[in-house]
Structure 1
Amino acid sequence: MSGYFDAIAPLAYDPDGDGPGFRHYNPDEIVLGKRMEDHLRFAVAYWHSFVWEGGDPFGGRTFDRPWFPADTMELARARADAAFDLFRILGVPYFCFHDHDVRPEGASLTESRDRLNRIADLFAEKMAAGGPKLLWGTANLFSNRRYMSGAATNPDPDVFAYSAATVRACMDVTHRLNGENYVLWGGREGYETLLNTDIGQELDQMGRFLSLVVDYKHKIGFKGTILIEPKPQEPTKHQYDYDVGNVYGFLRRYGLENEVRLNIEQGHAILAGHTFEHELALAAALGIFGSIDMNRNDYQSGWDTDQFPNNVPETALAYYEVLKAGGFTTGGTNFDAKLRRQSLDPEDLVMAHAGAMDVCARGLKAAARMLEDDRLETARRDRYAAWQGAEAQAMLAPGATLDAIADAAEARGLDPQPVSGRQERLENLVNRYV
C-alpha cells in the first residue's frame, strides 16, 4: 500500500448511486453473450497516470506526487505501490507500461536492464497477489536525447544497436510477466527535412528492426501479438508509421503483414485526418486489427492532448467496428490518457478513469444494440447487393479483361443512374442508439 489513495475505496457498479462508482460499467453484465469486462479489457497506462508531471509545450510541471522524480529504485518502488493501488480501486483487468516508466535509467545498458528486471520481480509479486495482468509492454525509444534522430531509423548504427538491446530487455520482461502483446512505438521514427534524410535507407532499417523483433519473439516462445502504433505528426513532420494504410504498406513491403498487428489510438487517427472508426474499419479489412488506445484530443489544439474519452457517440462507433471485427483477442482498451494539468488530486485520477470506463461501457452497449438490430448492416448489404450477381462477380474474377467488360457494357446499352447513399438517414439511425 502506498498511502497515496488511502482515502478512496474500491469502486463498484452503482447505477443509482450518488457517490464514487460506476454508473454504466458492470463487469459481469452480459453483452452479446460475453461479460462486459471481457469485451472491453480495460488497461491503465502507467506512463500518463504515474510518470507525466503535468507539463505542456507552454508550461512545466504542475503535479506533486510523492514518488517524483522516481530517479531512484526506492522511488520507483513507491510509484509501483501507488500504481497497483489505483489498479485495485478501479478493478481493471490489465495495465501497460514502458521500461522507462517503471525504472530509473542506469549508467549503462546492463544496469538499466537489471533495474527493469528488479521492478519486474516486484510486478510479478503484486500480480500474483491479485493485481491485474499485463496487456502489453513496450520500450521508450524516444525520450532520451540519443533518440533525437530516431531509434531504428537513426543514422547512427550504434543507436540502432542500443535500441535493439533495450527492446530485447523489455520483450524478455513482457514475456516473463505473461504479457499478451508487445508494442513498438514510432515516436521518433520520422524526419524533419529531406536535406539530411535518406528515406529508403531509413525505411529499410525500420523494416529490418521489426523483422529482428519478430524473429526474437519466436526464439523465446512469446505467444503474444507484436503491435505497431500508427503515430502521425509527433514529434516530427513526416512519420514513417503515419496511419493504418501507411503501416500496412510498410508491413507488406517487408513481408510482415502476417506477423504484426496494429494498436490504434483515437487521438492519432484524428491527427492523421481520419476518424477513429475509419482506422479501425480499415485495419479490420486488411486483417491487422489488434488493440486500441482510447483517448481523445482537444479539437481546438494542434497537438496530441491525450484526454480521457467523454463522447459516447464517438466511442459507440469505435466499438461498433471492434465488434464487427470479432472483438479483441489479445488486445484491449488501454487508456493512453492523462489528467488536465490543473487536476492535481488523487481523486482526479480515479474519477477520470471511472468516467472513461462508463463512457466506454455506454458506447459498447450502444454498438451491441446496433449490431443486434442489424439495420445498419442491412442498409450496407442492400447498397452493394448488385455485386452478388453473376455478371458483376465475373468482372472481379481472374481472367476478366477490360475489353470484355467494356464490350458487355456497350452491348447492354448501360446508362446507370445514381442511387442515394442515404447518409443522413443512417446518421439519424445511429443517434437512436446513443
Structure 2
Amino acid sequence: MATDKLAPQKDDHFTFGLWTVGNRGRDPFGDAVRDTLAPTTIVRELSKLGAYGITLHDNDLIPMEATSAERDRIVNEFRKALDEFGMVVPMVTVNLFYDPIFKDGAFTSSAPAVRRFAIDKAKRAIDLGQELGAHIFVVWGGREGAEVDGAKDPRDALAWYREGINTLTEHIRSRRYDMRIALEPKPNEPRGDIYLPTVGSMLSFIGTLDDAELVGVNPEIAHAKMAGLNPVHEIAQAIDQNKLFHIDLNDQRIARFDQDLRFGSDDIKGAFYIVKLLEDSGYDGPLHFDAHPYRTEDAEGVWEFARGSMRSYLGYREKVRQFHTDAEISGVLARIRELNETGPAVVDSSSLAYWRERGYAYEKLDQLVTELLLGLR
C-alpha cells in the first residue's frame, strides 16, 4: 500500500493551541456555536490526527482564580493525558489581554500595581511551562498600546515594556530554566494602536534588552497581512538575525480584521513561499497552527480543520520538493544566475545599455511556479 505523503508524523512538529481547536466560534457579533472542549479531549483527538504537541495560555488550562489545590489537580490530569497520548508542550504563553484589569495594558499599563500584577502572572506562567516541559515562552502584547497618546508618554510605555521583559529573562536565568522568550508582534487589534507592531520593531526592541540572547520573535502570518506586509519577508528578517524562535501559521486576507483562517486556505502562492523559506532555511522548531475553525462548523468540523491544517503544510512541502527537482524551473533559475554573473562586471557608460535592456526571466519563473501549484506540472 502506498504511503500517504500527507499523513502527519510526530517529527513534523505540528502543534495547536488549546485556544485554537478549542475556539467556540464566538465573535463580536454572535455568541458561541460549539461546546467547550476539555483540554484532555483536545490532547487525545489531536494525537489521533498525528499532531506532535499542544500549546496553551496559562488560563486556557487553569482558571485565573483557581486555588493552589485546584491548579495542581488540573495540571496533574493534563500531564497524565500528555503521557497517555504521547504529546508534548513545546510552548506556553500568558493571557495578559482578556481580563478587564488589563484594559490599559499589562506591562505598559499606566498603573504600577497592574504592571507588577502582570509580571507576576507571567512568571507563574513561565513556571507552569517549565513544569510541562516547554522550552519557549511567547509574549503577545495584545493590550500593550493606546487610543489616547496624551494619556501616557510612549517612551515611558516602552521603558515599562522593557522592564517587564527584563524581569522575565532574569526569572528564567535565576531559576536555570531551559527556556527562551518569543515576542509576538501585531499591527492592530484590540487596542487602537499597538506598541511594537511588526517583526522589525520587535527586533529593534530586543536589541535594547538586558539579555537579548534569550529573546526572539514569534511571527504570525495573519498579523503581517493585516498591515499589508509580506509575511515571507517578516519571517526572513527573523531568520537572518537568528531570532525565529517560534512561528504561528494561519492565513488572512489583507487589511481585514484578525481572521485566523486555516493555514494555506486563502493565499496559496504566499503559503508556498512561507513553507519554502522555512524548509530551505532548516527551521526545526514547532510548526504551530494559530487559527480557528469556521464558525459554521460543529465538533466534527473542528477536527477537519486540524486535519486540513497539517495536510496543507505537508502538501506545500511536497510542492517545495518538486520546485527543487523540476528540470525546467532549475533551468530558468540557472539562466537567471548566468545573466547576472556573465554580464558586464561594472555599470558604466559602456554597459548602461546592457543593464537597461536586459530581462530577468521572472515572468517565466513565476508562471512555472503557478503551474506547479495548480498541479499542471
What interval of TM-score do these two structures reach, taking the shorter chain for normalisation?
Answer: 0.7 to 0.9
* CA deviation after TM superposition for structure 1 residue 185, in Å: 1.0
Matched-pair contact (CA < 8 Å) for 2:203–2:216: no
Deviation at 1:136, TM superposition (A): 0.4
Report sequence identity in percent.
23
Work out which of the residue numbers 277, 297, 314 in structure 2 matches 1:321: 277
Q: Give the match for residue 200 of structure 1.
A: 155
CA distance in 2, matches of 1:380, 1:235: 45
Matches within 5 A, 1:10-409: 24-27=5-8, 37-38=10-11, 40-50=12-22, 52-65=23-36, 79-106=38-65, 111=67, 115-254=70-209, 256-299=211-254, 302-309=256-263, 310-311=265-266, 312-328=268-284, 331-344=285-298, 346-371=299-324, 375=330, 385=341
Q: 3-state SS of the aligned residue for 1:54?
A: coil
Alignment check: 8 A CA contact 2:25 2:34 kept:
yes
SS of the residue 1:316 aligns to: helix
Q: Does the Cα contact within 8 Å between 1:320 and 1:371 map onto a contact in 2?
A: no
Flag the 1:429–1:237 CA change in 2: closer, same or farther, 3 A: farther
Q: Structure 2 CA distance, aligned partners of 1:283 and 1:132? A: 28
Q: Which TM-score applies when normalising by structure 2?
A: 0.87
- Counterpart CA distance in 2 for 1:385 and 1:80 is 56
1:429 Cα offset (Å): 3.0
Change (3 A) 1:245 1:260: same
Q: Cα distance 1:431–1:413, how it changes in 2: closer, same or farther (>3 A)?
A: closer
Distance 1:133 1:84 in 2: 9
Find the counterpart in structure 1 of residue 365 from structure 2: 426
Is the contact between residue 249 and residue 289 of structure 2 (CA under 8 Å) also seen in structure 1? yes
Mark the CA change 1:14 to 1:229 in structure 2 (over 3 Å): closer, same or farther: farther
Alpha-carbon distance change, 123 to 242 in structure 1, aligned in 2, over 3 angstroms: same
Q: Which runs of 5+ in 1 are unaligned?
A: 1-12, 16-22, 29-36, 68-78, 393-408
Q: What is the DSSP-based 3-state SS (H/G/I as helix, E as strand, rest coil) of the residue aligned with 1:253?
A: coil
- Paired with 2:338 and 2:191, the residues of 1 have a C-alpha distance of 44
- Counterpart residue type for residue 425 of structure 1: K
Q: CA deviation at 1:14?
A: 8.5
Distance 1:381 1:219 in 2: 51
Distance 1:432 1:281 in 2: 25
| C-alpha deviation, 1:372, in angstroms | 5.3
| Conserved 8 A contact 1:313-1:363 | no
Deviations 1:110-148 (A, max 9, x none): x3x664443222222222223310020111000000101
SS at match of 1:361: helix
Deviation (angstroms), 1:421: 4.4
AA of the residue aligned to 1:207: R
8 A contact 2:57–2:92 mirrored in 1: yes
8 Å CA contact retained: 1:96, 1:134: yes
For this pair of structures, how many residues does the alignment match? 365
SS in 2 for 1:307: coil
1:204 to partner: Cα distance: 0.8
Closer, same or farther: CA 253–386 of 1 in aligned 2, 3 Å: farther
Amino acid at match of 2:93: T
Q: Which runs of 4+ in 1 moved over 4 A?
A: 371-374, 376-387, 412-416
- Tell me the SS of whatever aligns to 1:427: helix
Structure 2 alignment gaps of length 5 or more: none
The aligned amino acid for 1:166 is K
Contact 2:43–2:85 (8 Å) recurs in 1: no
Distance 1:180 1:383 in 2: 46
- On the 8 A contact 1:84/1:131 being kept in 2, the answer is no
Tell me if structure 2 keeps the 8 A contact 1:44–1:335: yes
Report the 3-state secondary structure (helix = DSSP H, G, I; strand = E; otherwise coil) of the residue aligned with 2:35.
coil
Partner deviation per Cα, 1:294-313 (whole Å, 9 max, x = no partner): 111245x7210112122543
Q: RMSD over aligned Cα, in angstroms?
A: 2.8
Q: Is the CA contact (8 Å cut-off) linking 2:13 and 2:52 kept in structure 1?
A: yes
